[in-house]
């Protein structure tokens, strides 16, 4: 992945003197996603997706290898969104077909992280002040929200069967951790102990 920067140069003559200028159009710093395959001892380019994210900084691939997402502070600003929405959030693409879009998962400004749970079919999208958990199959469904202070890391952990809880650490560069849960709603309470910045979130079926 890489951000694409577009610029052009030129000059005009003013009072007989050349004045040079540069016009830059970063187009939301759109980032391009590349997929390579291993062929003997070489890497071969297999697929390319332009406008995969705006100002991308983090690449996530689901543990089963089926899904991928670029996370950038500008969100998703593709020129051809199709039936999907645009804005601050994360777009998930099937790794087998970069031309398709599984869905766009909004989170408001500014996206920092995302993690897909292939067991429960959920995606957690994080920003500095909260993490939103969506059903992967339905981006329009209201997400479960865990508030706190988060950073660029976001991972699913815990047992494979639903443990129905998640936790977060208050450090600005900390990672959020979510245990498997099929619920779309939840509530939080503080944990007692050394770290006052930690909390636990229990989820329940609506």
User: What is the predicted pLDDT for the residue at 19?
Assistant: 72
Q: What is the mean pLDDT of the chain?
A: 75
Asked if the model's pLDDT at residue 29 lies above 50, the reply is yes
Count the Cβ atoms, other than its own, within 10 Å of residue 193. 7
Asked if the model's pLDDT at residue 179 lies above 60, the reply is no
- pTM value? 0.68
> Three-state secondary structure along the chain?
CEECCEEEEEEEEECCEEEEEEEEECHHHEEEEEEEEEECCEEEEEEEEEEEEEEEEEEEECCCCCEEEEEEEEEECCCCCCCCCCECEEEEEECCCCCCCCEEEECCCCEEEEEEECCCCEEEEEECCEEEEEECCCCCCCCEEEECCCCCCEEEECCCCCCCEEEECCCCCCCEEEECCCCCEEEEEECCCCCCCCEEEEEECC
Average pLDDT score over residue span 171-175: 49
**Mode of pairing for the β-strands spanning 154-157 and 176-179:** parallel
- pLDDT one-digit tens code per residue, 50-68: 889 998 989 999 999 999 9
């Amino acid at each position: 992945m890489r951000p694409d920067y577009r610029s052009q140069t030129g000059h005009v003559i003013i009072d007989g003197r050349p004045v040079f200028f540069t016009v830059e159009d970063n187009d939301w710093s759109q980032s391009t996603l590349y997929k390579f395959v291993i062929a003997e001892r070489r890497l071969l380019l297999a697929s390319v997706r332009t406008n995969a994210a705006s100002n991308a900084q983090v690449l996530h691939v689901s543990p089963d290898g089926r899904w991928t997402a670029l996370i950038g502070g500008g969100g998703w600003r593709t020129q051809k969104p199709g039936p999907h929405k645009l804005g601050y959030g994360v777009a998930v693409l099937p790794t087998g077909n970069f031309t398709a879009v599984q869905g766009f998962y909004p989170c408001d400004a500014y996206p920092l992280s995302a993690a897909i749970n292939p067991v429960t079919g959920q995606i957690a999208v994080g920003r500095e002040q909260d993490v939103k958990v969506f059903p992967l199959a339905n981006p329009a469904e209201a997400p479960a929200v865990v508030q706190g202070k988060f950073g660029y890391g976001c991972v699913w952990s815990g047992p494979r069967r639903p443990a129905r809880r998640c936790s977060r650490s208050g450090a600005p560069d900390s990672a959020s951790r979510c245990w498997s849960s099929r619920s779309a709603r939840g509530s939080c309470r503080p944990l007692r102990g050394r770290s006052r910045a930690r909390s636990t979130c229990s989820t329940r079926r609506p």
